[in-house]
Amino acid sequence: MLRRLDPRRASGRRDLERSQNSGGRGRSLSSAREVCRSNKSPWVCLTCSSVHCGRYVNGHAKKHYEDAQIPLTNHKKSEKQEKAQHTVCMDCSSYSTYCYRCDDFVINDTKLGLVQKVREHLQNLENSAFTADRHRKRKLLENSSLNSKLLKVNGSTTAICATGLRNLGNTCFMNAILQSLSNIEQFCCYFKALPAVELRNGKTAGRRTYHTRSQGDSNVSLVEEFRKTLCALWQGSQTAFSPESLFYVVWKIMPNFRGYQQQDAHEFMRYLLDHLHLELQGGFNGISRSSILQENSTLSASNKCCINGASTVVTAIFGGILQNEVNCLICGTESRKFDPFLDLSLDIPSQFRNKRSKNQENGPVCSLRDCLRSFTDLEELDETELYMCHKCKKKQKSTKKFWIQKLPKVLCLHLKRFHWTAYLRNKVDTYVEFPLRGLDMKCYLLEPENSGPENCLYDLAAVVVHHGSGVGSGHYTAYATHEGRWFHFNDSTVTLTDEDTVVKAKAYILFYVERQAKAGSDKL
């Protein structure tokens, strides 16, 4: 349950106002750096206006709260000391308010609106600092040819237009997927072309909201927040974008991802695509799904793969069809089943699992073709997976084989790097060689003669990489190509990279885009 803020907890505003004339935010941030040498994610205490690093850095703001709870020795606490418990802090970056006593973000204010006044004061400080910083950067760009944000292309200098995503607390799994999807042009352009939704009206129109897990607001749109995030990522902003509104919606509609624990990027991607698909099926901003699809003739013409009902842009781009063929080994009865898919999960063959790097000499390097062959090869089902034969009227030993009946426009390949043992989930850290262009999928098709040569060739658009040893820990980053250049997305940091660096990555998820025009390339 949300607590009402005590007005005295917002008394830090007066201290902040006084500090503005004597260095203001810079003085407070320097005090934070004195503790842990970090100015990342500063949180200001609304009781005493001291600033410490937030709970997702080194947790000194929480320690400040805990220290304030220690009873004073040799002195009897006064009523004022008893109530001033330094309970409420504000994130100086997002201006959201956190109560340590409630152990949750809060949205209510005092009767005098003191918390909002603190927000406005911090925003004024930030705006003035931003203006000064913008003038400084402009001079730097004019006078320096070695600026890391500039790139020479055909003799001319252009700025890197990619924008990073802030880490909201172990949300690198979400950031890596969002950056990858933002670089799949057809998918991204569709959402950016959608009409905006105004979810708020009246007195709250145009005003920023501050959400909490306990908030009872059901008026949320994943499609709208996803659209706004994609629009923000390629506007050329030098400041990282905070996807907190999208993350709030994720908390609302995907309970598995509530909290700030590390999550599996592949699992998040599947949940995200599934919920986008479902919301688009139900219509968006009062416009029917069919009307939206008609805006893009190239999508509506290829809407043949349906998952959970009518097709949407999700299935039109990522949707493919598998044929699952099972044969009874006793009577020879054959059973065929067609299954739609949005991605393919590939095992790394066991003979390669001890090979950790590309340069190891003990045996051949595992390739993406090895993983695809393992997926589509004929296999005999073991005793735990006996097939119910309708002719034999009982479960029998059988074989199983997958064929790809229809390839998608964007082929998403998930390498199964995590597997369960008796007690824990281990990571397969094997390097898997993958092509940047010319991935030929023709040999895995059920009817390859019905597909043109170009329709089976795919070029790499993005790669998600997991760094670390376990699914519940580590870090996610992404590589993606945009207008012929490769970028490395590491939360709020975006850097230019090259193809040699990309091919050395230990891929977790690969996004391949169907080649549209003829171009010379080396096939896989």
Cβ burial of 219 (10 Å; 0-12, 13-18, 19+) is: exposed
What's the pLDDT band for 509 if we cut at 50, 70, 90? very high
CA–CA dist 512, 412 (Å, integer): 6
What pLDDT does residue 289 have?
A: 44
Residue 45 near residue 37, CB atoms below 8 Å: no
pLDDT at 474 over 80: yes
Average pLDDT over residues 144-173: 63
What pLDDT does residue 423 have?
A: 67
CA 226: distance to chain centroid?
11
What pLDDT does residue 150 have?
A: 45
Q: Which of 325, 386, 376 is nearest to 349 (CA)?
A: 376
CA 111: distance to chain centroid?
38
Supply the Cα-derived Rg of the chain in whole angstroms.
27
Q: 341 CB contacts (<8 Å, ≥6 apart)? A: 319, 320, 321, 322
**pLDDT tens, position by position, 43-73:** 888 888 888 877 656 678 778 888 887 764 4
Q: 507 CB contacts (<8 Å, ≥6 apart)? A: 415, 432, 434, 463, 464, 465
Every domain of the chain and the residues it spans: 42-68+85-127, 163-197+220-280+310-353+364-517
pLDDT at 392 over 90: no
For the chain, give the mean pLDDT. 75
What's the pLDDT band for 124 if we cut at 50, 70, 90? confident
* Phi (first) and psi of residue 461, to 5 degrees: -110, -35
CATH code given to domain 163-197+220-280+310-353+364-517 = 3.90.70.10
241: left (phi over 0), alpha (psi -120 to 50) or beta: beta
**pLDDT tens, position by position, 403-427:** 898 999 999 999 999 887 666 678 8
pLDDT at 207 over 80: no
- Is the pLDDT higher at 35 or at 111? 111
Cβ burial of 231 (10 Å; 0-12, 13-18, 19+) is: middle
Active-site residue, selected from the candidate residues 121, 467, 475, 482: 475
172 is known as an active-site residue: yes
What's the pLDDT band for 301 if we cut at 50, 70, 90? very low
CA–CA dist 230, 248 (Å, integer): 16
- Is the pLDDT higher at 276 or at 386? 276
CA–CA dist 384, 502 (Å, integer): 40
Residue 81 near residue 42, CB atoms below 8 Å: no
What's the pLDDT band for 335 if we cut at 50, 70, 90? confident
Average pLDDT over residues 251-273: 90
Range with top average pLDDT, 70-79, 294-303, 305-314, 397-406: 397-406
- Is the pLDDT higher at 379 or at 94? 379
DSSP three-state, residue 419: strand
What pLDDT does residue 112 have?
A: 80
Q: Which of 407, 391, 394, 385 is nearest to 451 (CA)?
A: 407
pLDDT at 3 over 70: no
Residue 288 near residue 311, CB atoms below 8 Å: no
Cβ burial of 422 (10 Å; 0-12, 13-18, 19+) is: exposed
Average pLDDT over residues 298-308: 48
**pLDDT tens, position by position, 309-320:** 678 999 999 999
CATH code given to domain 42-68+85-127 = 3.30.40.10
Which residue bears the tokens 């959608």?
A: 194
- Is the pLDDT higher at 50 or at 172? 172
Active-site residue, selected from the candidate residues 92, 99, 172, 366: 172
Q: Which of 111, 230, 130, 213 is nearest to 178 (CA)?
A: 230
Number of C-beta neighbours around residue 318 at 10 A: 24
What pLDDT does residue 154 have?
A: 42
What pLDDT does residue 134 have?
A: 55
Sign of CA dihedral 341, 344, 345, 347: positive
Lowest mean pLDDT among 160-169, 296-305, 328-337: 296-305
What's the pLDDT band for 127 if we cut at 50, 70, 90? low
pLDDT at 490 over 50: yes
CA 142: distance to chain centroid?
35
Beta bridge partner(s), residue 486: 481, 497
121 is known as an active-site residue: no
What's the pLDDT band for 287 if we cut at 50, 70, 90? very low
Please give the order of strands across the beta sheet that includes 42-45: 51-53, 42-45, 88-91, 97-99, 104-106
